[in-house]
Amino acid sequence: MNSFIGTYECKADTKGRLMIPSALKKQMSSSLNDGFVLKRAVFQKCLELYPMAEWNNLMAKVNKLNRFKKKNNDFIRRFTAGVKIVEVDGTGRLLIPKDLLGFSGISKQVVLASAVNILEIWDKDNYEQAIDDAASDFADLAEEVMGQDDDDNGIS
């Protein structure tokens, strides 16, 4: 599993191409030959960039869903809506298709934010708003999600 680190700002040109910052491109190097999958995020107005290996792992899980259950079929349809295979070109640019630009509201200022094994691609204003919105209850969220009981050796 590839883990990405960092938050990076860059600019999209009028065609929706963005130059991947060199520090991030180095982290992506093991995935550059295989390509990536770009999709709409489920919970936010941003895009998610999956290295192909991560996408294939996720699709293996999705493929186990029983397609004869309507909710599973509906989920698969919505989850994969607008999915595109994309590549970073030889000059280090990523082209975001027009429909995904529209969904995400990306115009010129872009934030690439690591989300463990994928990258989120945000319009900068939307990213700042999402961070601000989550700031007030982040301590409670962190405790709920990560505040497991102390393990046996007393280290939390």
pLDDT by residue (tens digit) across 20-58? 999 999 999 999 999 999 999 999 999 999 999 999 999
* Contact indicator for 39, 82 with CB cutoff of 8 Å: yes
Kindly state whether residue 153 falls inside one of the protein's structural domains.
Answer: no
Q: Match 């900068």 to its residue by tokens.
A: 124
**In the numeric block, which tokens belong to residue 75?**
């989920």
pLDDT of residue 122: 98
Residue 107 phi, psi (nearest 5):
-120, -85
pLDDT-based confidence at residue 77 (cuts at 50, 70, 90): very high
The number of distinct structural domains making up the chain is 1
The answer to whether residue 1 sits within a structural domain is no
Which are the contacts of 30, defined by CB distance < 8 A and separation ≥ 6? 2, 51
Q: Whole-prediction pTM value? A: 0.87
Range of the structural domain that residue 31 is part of: 7-145
